[in-house]
Chains A and B, each alone.
Chain A
Amino acid sequence: MKAGSNLEKILRAGHFAFTGELGPPRGCNVEHVREKAVPLKGMVDMVNITDNQTAMVRMSSWAAAIIALEEGLEPNYQMVCRDRNRLAMQADILGAYCHGLRNILCLSGDHQQFGDHPNAKGVYDIDSIQLINMVKNMRDEGKFAGGAEIDVPPKFFIGAAANPFGEPYEWRVHRLAKKVAAGADFIQTQCIYNMDLMREWIKQANDMGLTEKTYILAGVTPMKSLGMAKYMKNRVPGIDVPDEVINRLAGVDKKKQADEGIKIACEQIEEFKETKGIAGVHLMAIEWEHKVPEIAERAKVLPRPVMD
């Protein structure tokens, strides 16, 4: 065990992991965090706590993660490179560990121009791959990035993101390989809609032996509506929504679109369960936390294994 988190135990025991997501509020509304946490409890193995996602200021991810922990969830503490330099990152990593966080997801972060502070200075002191490596060295070597020894090192289960749908496609698996080499214990992918590209990417990862070195969790976001699908297709960088998904949603009554979206997601999850090299699913039910129990039920991933 590298960190002994619930996710690590589940993956090492060979269970198919099922993880979720919780976005912190834009303010100090603690009750809102607690409310969002309730439907996730017992439904997922770990919950990603996003870090100023879409470059909008929110309650800091470590703080919201501690609240989630108090609510009985296992957080995945997300950290982006956009907002802090290596000193701040390492300080937050130490603090987060001391408060019981055991998983971390290392990300570049959306560019600040997408958010509501478009002319903020982007920090990007180090990039996501360098961050992965820094957290690994803190854990395994007990050293800060500057080389000094850490008095009681933080032991995180280290996660990274991967997007099989960005160009150049053939290079994507090599970027994954770099993340694995840097120290990524697990990977959560971008939301998957293009299953053909996903199959090709996971095959490449299998062929390169990467799936033996890291656990890949396939990213699934159920479409709530046709409008959402069109928005994701046309407006969200790095997301590939094939026409067949659009057509399926367009083919049902407006009131049935959410149900159809969940149905598509469940079909994907069924396939991922059978796919060599995929160790679990990361469900990003964006502002749809209350639907997670239903989705988990319909995806037949319940009950979640309970580890010691």
Chain B
Amino acid sequence: MVKAKRKPLEEIRDAIKSYKRVLTVGCGGCVSVCMAGGLKEVNTMNAELKQMFKEENIECSFDGFTVERQCNMEFLEDVADKVGKFDCLLSMACGAGVQYMSERYPDIPVFPAVNTVFIGVDKEIGVYEEKCRACGECVLGYTGGVCPVTRCAKGLFNGPCGGTNKGKCEVSSEVPCAWVTIYDRLKAQNRLDDILKIQQPMQWQNQVQRTIIQEPYKERYAKQD
């Protein structure tokens, strides 16, 4: 899922301090799961902002509401009757949610309260690790389920490079070399042939904004000429 991290409180303050009434909108989707922008985090952040604004003598009132997901117009309707009472919205959703919120309520400023960081996994409670960059051309089939786009610092398709150091990446002795991991896994599965052939340059699909329509819906959304 998408993983996010709350922005520094000072940055949020600077964005919203000229507004008097702020509605913080949480999201019950991914950011709730990674504990960055769900119901609980809305309450925590509003409490922290109230405290900060009080100490700095900035006049501002905060309210909070969490919708099921901000990446869907239907759920965004749930704040329609509230938005008019506020001067700005502070969205705790991922970048997609913030943009959809801004699109639904174009007359009111919407500010992001979190940084959307990556698509990743839950390592421990509150600890997340990046696994996917949504490149749109998944190569995990021949790389033993290890993503070279995300996990190799150079994004190599024919690694490992010469910088591999005792199985670690040249950028950090803490980071395992993706290509050593790929090699080890494929070797164990007796599939090294998969990486013996030269992989040709990637045909990048993520260089323009993408839209997908799932196969069963193609007909429904076919463009009318």
Contacts and interface: CB of A to CB of B under 8 A. Distances in A.
Interface of A: 111-113, 119-122
A111 B207 CA distance: 9
Contacts of B202: 119, 121
B221 interface: no
16 contacts: A111-B207, A111-B208, A112-B207, A113-B207, A113-B208, A119-B202, A119-B203, A119-B204, A119-B205, A119-B207, A120-B204, A120-B207, A121-B202, A121-B204, A121-B207, A122-B207
Contacts of B203: 119
Contacts of A113: 207-208
Contacts, number: 16
A83 to B, nearest CB: 13
Nearest to A121: B204
A119 B200 CA distance: 12
- Which of A113, A119, A122 has most chain B Cβ within 10 Å? A119
A120 B203 CA distance: 6
Given A111-B208, A119-B207, 14 more contacts: A111-B207, A112-B207, A113-B207, A113-B208, A119-B202, A119-B203, A119-B204, A119-B205, A120-B204, A120-B207, A121-B202, A121-B204, A121-B207, A122-B207
Q: A-side binding surface: helix, strand, loop or mixed?
A: loop
Nearest to A112: B207
Nearest to A124: B207
Interface string B175-216: 000000000000000000000000000111101100000000
B68 to A, nearest CB: 36
Q: Which 6 pairs, one residue from A and one from B, show the smallest C-beta to C-beta distance?
A: A119-B203, A121-B204, A119-B204, A122-B207, A113-B208, A112-B207
A87 to B, nearest CB: 14
A41 B202 CA distance: 43
Interface size bucket, B side? under 10
A248 B42 CA distance: 64
A116 B109 CA distance: 41
A282 B204 CA distance: 35
B225 to A, nearest CB: 18
Contacts of A119: 202-205, 207
B141 to A, nearest CB: 19
A75 B208 CA distance: 33
Interface in B105-150: none
A119 B204 CA distance: 5
B185 to A, nearest CB: 26
A264 to B, nearest CB: 35
Nearest to B135: A121
A74 to B, nearest CB: 35
Nearest to B155: A121
Contacts of A120: 204, 207
Contacts of B207: 111-113, 119-122
Nearest to A117: B201
Contacts of B205: 119
A120 to B, nearest CB: 7
B21 to A, nearest CB: 31
A122 B204 CA distance: 9
Nearest to B208: A113
B210 to A, nearest CB: 13
Contacts of A122: 207
A139 B5 CA distance: 39
A91 B204 CA distance: 26
A111 B205 CA distance: 13
A120 B208 CA distance: 11
A119 B207 CA distance: 8
Contacts of B208: 111, 113
B36 to A, nearest CB: 28
Nearest to B206: A121
Contacts of B204: 119-121
B150 to A, nearest CB: 15
A113 to B, nearest CB: 7
A106 B206 CA distance: 25
Nearest to A122: B207
Nearest to B207: A122
Contacts of A121: 202, 204, 207
A113 B208 CA distance: 9
A244 B204 CA distance: 42
A122 B202 CA distance: 12
- Which of B202, B203, B207, B208 has most chain A Cβ within 10 Å? B207
A113 B209 CA distance: 12
A7 to B, nearest CB: 35
A124 to B, nearest CB: 9
B222 to A, nearest CB: 23
A243 B205 CA distance: 37
A112 B202 CA distance: 14
B152 to A, nearest CB: 15
